[in-house]
Structure 1
Amino acid sequence: MADKKPINPILKLTLEIGPIAAFFIAYLRLRDQVFTIGGTEYDGFVLATAGFIPLILVTTGILWALTGHISKMQVATAVLVVVFGGLTVWLNDDRFFKMKPTIIYALFAGVLGAGLLRGQSYLQFVMEEVMPMQRVGWMILTRRLAFFFAALAVLNEVIWRTMSTDMWVNFKTFGLTIAIFGFFMTQGALIQKYGIEEEKDDQG
């Protein structure tokens, strides 16, 4: 397996957040317009989605080229973008793309939940090098994150089915990002309690 290569954090963040920001800007510019292509009318949302698909593939490819590694989460996200984004464009139906976050978060919740049923924290396998912590801490954090992802899946379903497209785009662009950031910010006490860095300090 190829070793991970260092990458500038700002560049990494740009590559990860860039496609979402580009989708949001494209939607704002195109949302009130209708385009006829090949005799079929497409609204701005569908065209913004069509542009998002290759962009997420390009940025994911650049991340892989620069770091020699992409996470399973990034791979799953890219695959689901291609599948559901492609269905949105092919069938000219925005519902498929709006369902994508539901599938992603339900999948993450299911994977984490399956690991918990086996007495394992799959989250620990992914993040242990970045955030060393005792096993009991990983189990608690994984349980909380599984429930959190399940809640996001339900929330996405409620919003896209009951609210306007504008509301859903704002939720996807800002709401989900803020929610995930906020979740990890609120786990500080847990990480501090079960973090193993203090043990290293005691030995110094």
Structure 2
Amino acid sequence: MTDKIFERDPSDPKRKELSPVLKLALELGPLLIFFFANARGEWLAAQFPALSALGGPIFIATGLFMAATAISLVASWLLVRSLPIMPLVSGIVVFVFGALTLFLQNDTFIKMKPTIVNALFGAMLLGGLAFGKSLLGHVFDSAFRLDAEGWRKLTLRWGLFFFFLAVVNEVVWRSFSTDTWVAFKVWGIMPITILFTMSQMPLIMRHSLEGKGE
């Protein structure tokens, strides 16, 4: 039952896949809206007076970020009839911490969201390894196949990388202005993640089962 709600077996011939461009748009879209709303919060409040009830720019951005995240998840479900674990868990944390941010008028909660999400995934991956399980394929809904050693190494690296992102987020939001944190969240984390992903390609190629037979 759960595979109908969340991820489906990558080997399922009926499985639907999002194109890489559309997948990136669904993941990056809410962040861009968050960045724009924080930068132009006063203008948005003037154009749409109802938004002023949310508070200042960061609170307007938080509200729109929550709405955009919900739309992204719904769109993903409508397109492929499944919700990958990582965006789903991230979305749940966005809704919980976003609601706390708006209700308490304290932007600390939304700033802590990336820390919580990244630490959660890091703990999940490294905790799984401690019990002999490589959970990375489930987290990323992976389309490629690796041998056991490849999954173990890649899971370890990604687990440590998630903790690195959690630490970086804490340093940035505690040390710099809200505008700087928002800009880094949108324009810093994504390039860092892309570079890290690309750096793992040699390992993936070495341990890939594609073309090697079973």
Q: CA deviation at 1:152?
A: 0.8
Q: CA deviation at 1:154?
A: 0.8
Helix, strand or coil at the partner of 1:199: coil
Residues 54 and 102 of structure 2 are in contact (CA less than 8 Å); yes or no, is this contact kept in structure 1? no
1:94 aligns with 2:69: no
Other-structure match for 2:180? 167
Mean alpha-carbon deviation: is it higher for 7-16 or for 92-101? Answer: 7-16
Q: CA deviation at 1:83?
A: 0.5
Q: Which gives a bigger RCO, structure 1 or 2 (Cα 8 Å, sep 6+)? A: 2
1:28 aligns with 2:39: yes
Distance 2:87 2:183 in 1: 22
Q: Aligned in 2, Cα 1:92/1:128: closer, same or farther, shift over 3 Å? A: closer
Residues 85 and 96 of structure 1 are in contact (CA less than 8 Å); yes or no, is this contact kept in structure 2? yes
Other-structure match for 2:74? 61
**Which ranges of structure 2 fall in alignment gaps of 5 or more residues?**
5-13
- Code of the aligned partner of 1:159: V
Percent identity, please. Answer: 37
Q: CA deviation at 1:127?
A: 5.2
Residues 122 and 159 of structure 2 are in contact (CA less than 8 Å); yes or no, is this contact kept in structure 1? yes
Helix, strand or coil at the partner of 1:192: helix
Partner deviation per Cα, 1:20-64 (whole Å, 9 max, x = no partner): 111111111126998898x97821111111111122111101110
CA RMSD of aligned residues (A): 2.5
Residues 33 and 43 of structure 1 are in contact (CA less than 8 Å); yes or no, is this contact kept in structure 2? no
Distance 1:168 1:32 in 2: 20
Provide TM-score, normalisation by structure 1.
0.88
Other-structure match for 1:19? 30
Distance 2:141 2:190 in 1: 22
